Chain A
Amino acid sequence: MPGIPCIAAMRTLILASARADLGQSVRQVVSAARQLGGEVHVLVVGDKDSAAAIACAAAGVRGVAVVKCAEIASDAMPNIKITATLLKSYALDYTHILSDDSGFCRAVLAHVAALLGVEPVTGVTRIVSTDTFVRPVYAGNAWMTVQSHDPVKILTVRTANFAPADDGGNATIIAIAPMPEMPSPVAGIAQLLECQCTTGLLAGNTAPPLDSARIVVAGGRGLGSAENFTALLAPLARRLGAALGASYGAVSAGYAANALQIGQTGRIIAPALYIAVGISGAIQHLAGIRDAQVVVAIDKNPEAPIFKAADYGLVADLFGAVPALTHALEALGEKT
């Protein structure tokens, strides 16, 4: 009889999102989950092909005990309500529910939290203990340490702050049949008409996903036009094997797609090398690159705030400096 509660038996369920990075963000969330202690399970929800692929990737991550895989008809995806209903049905078996900080996962976890009546903690950068977490506020200009007293802790984590867990996992994969009471696709009420994937189009399909790229080249308003953005930055990114990013200024000026946006209201990234080209360095942008290992800034304005956040600064006209950099890298590449 489930009478006496077990003291501090942690059990975490991770929602794996069906994302372009196919498993990389799951590895980072698993790292976070392992810090809590206890068993780690992963829930994968997706259409037939993507769910199977993600489930396999998750099962191979060290530290994962069980992967629950739910296949849903593709015209119902992505669907916050269906995923949330499924996740909520398992929630009370766990002490913690985790996911990455992507928009879809945030919305699903918010949904589950609201229905359970618990307060979610989003954008966690550090796990202090099983009930205490650090999260950035005010565009990362302050770090807040919060404590949750809820029976189930619901967290989204900033993957940039957690090293990916290794291979070596051998989790059991369990197929979950759709529940009879799961809501049918909300056709007629909310219907997905079109899904446009805009990432990877500029730097070519071989570019790594922005969230997990080792090197990121980002452009700002200084580029002056969409044509310049591509013409100058794509060759540099290709030469470095980098992902392309953009400041909010560049996105709102139409030089780059919204999916490339880095900053407080875009992606938060932590590449090994971040090269900011023609980006002035507004607080909101700096929030997105705080955890980058090495930051290089190229801008013609020596007073630009970006230089305060950079490790190396080149005050120069980017229209000369960027091609020179690309050319110099090509020469280096030919020597080795």
Chain B
Amino acid sequence: MPPLEIEKILTPVKRVIDPCVAIRVKTDGSGVEASGVRMSMNPFDEIAIEAAIRLKEIGAANEVIAVTCGMADCAETLRTALAMGADRAILIETGIELQPLAVAKILAALCLKERPDLVICGKQAVDSDAGQTGAMLAALLGWPLAARVSSLNVADGKFLAACETEDGREVWRLRPPAVLTVELGLNTPRYVTLPNLMKAKKKALDTLTPEALGINARSRLTTLSIATPPSRRPCVRVADVDELLARLHDETRVI
């Protein structure tokens, strides 16, 4: 048993268009086609849930709570988290298009209510690619932030988090409560087995609203349009290295 034991880990998860799906922008520019498209848990959030459950499995934490914000069908993502091993789940139900600040405010209000010792989030959502929610949550709570965590250990009553940076890596020692955002490579999330999915149906899934938490979740940014980027010119196949160099020299002047 490691010397550190915390009570609760809160793990926010997001339902996104599956990253393997080729997205299609609506012709009127109002958004991306989402009806009938395969959805899944944001890959970074799967890593976050896996990290939380592993901490529980080594006896460093007692309870893992998964939370998501959105429409009722987002409960599907919570069921996946429960099947992976989360103990209970919370759906913050709303029809409002949520942007990172609103999500951070909702999560902060939930943290004041649930009092977790650790929040483990994904580094970014692969649909919006904003990468802001975890940091904003840490700011609102006044908790330290360890961002882009690529390895996580427990030692001497504290967490040791290796955080990836543009220039290399930093190792931080953190006392809870804290917010962690997780990076690819921290772990390989477990598959959800059918028996665990069945068991998950018995676990608690509660529903709240942003209003019940006292939060106005309105969007602050107006989305004016969404467009497809222009496509690249066609690829010239070269036969060998000499032709490649000749073309680069003659046609592009980069070499």
Interface residues in chain A, defined as those with a beta carbon under 8 Å from any beta carbon in chain B: 19-20, 78, 80-81, 84, 102-104, 106-107, 110-115, 117-123, 132, 135-150, 186, 188-199, 210-211, 215, 240, 248, 251-252, 257-259, 264-265, 267, 272-273, 283-284, 290, 293-297, 307-316, 321, 324-325, 328-329, 332
Contact = CB atoms under 8 A, between A and B. Distances in A.
B166 A147 contact: no
A257 B168 CA distance: 8
B17 to A, nearest CB: 7
Contacts of B147: 103, 107
Given A313-B235, A313-B237, A199 B19 contact: no
Contacts of B124: 265
A95 B242 CA distance: 53
A142 B226 contact: yes
B220 A149 contact: yes
B35 interface: no
Interface stretch (B7-15, B88-96, B136-144): B136-144
A193 B173 contact: yes
Shortest 5 CB-CB distances between A and B: which pairs?
A110-B135, A190-B144, A114-B136, A119-B220, A114-B139
Contacts of A143: 226-229
Contacts of B184: 248, 252, 265
Nearest to B25: A142
Interface residues of B, number: 76
Contacts of A195: 168-171
B27 to A, nearest CB: 13
Contacts of A191: 172-174
B22 to A, nearest CB: 8
A113 B101 contact: yes
Contacts of B173: 190-191, 193
Contacts of B72: none
Contacts of A196: 168-171
A142 to B, nearest CB: 5
Contact of A113 (B132, B235, B247, B254): B132
Contacts of B220: 118-119, 148-150
B245 A312 contact: no
A313 B236 contact: yes
Given A191-B173, A313-B237, 18 more contacts: A120-B132, A122-B132, A136-B229, A142-B226, A145-B227, A148-B221, A191-B172, A194-B171, A196-B170, A251-B185, A258-B150, A264-B129, A265-B183, A273-B252, A294-B252, A308-B235, A314-B244, A328-B245
B181 to A, nearest CB: 9
A197 B167 contact: yes
Contacts of B127: 137-138
A205 to B, nearest CB: 13
Contacts of B167: 19-20, 197-199, 259
Interface string B154-179: 00000010001111111111110010
Contact of B131 (A122, A145, A324): A122
B95 to A, nearest CB: 19
Contacts of A102: 166
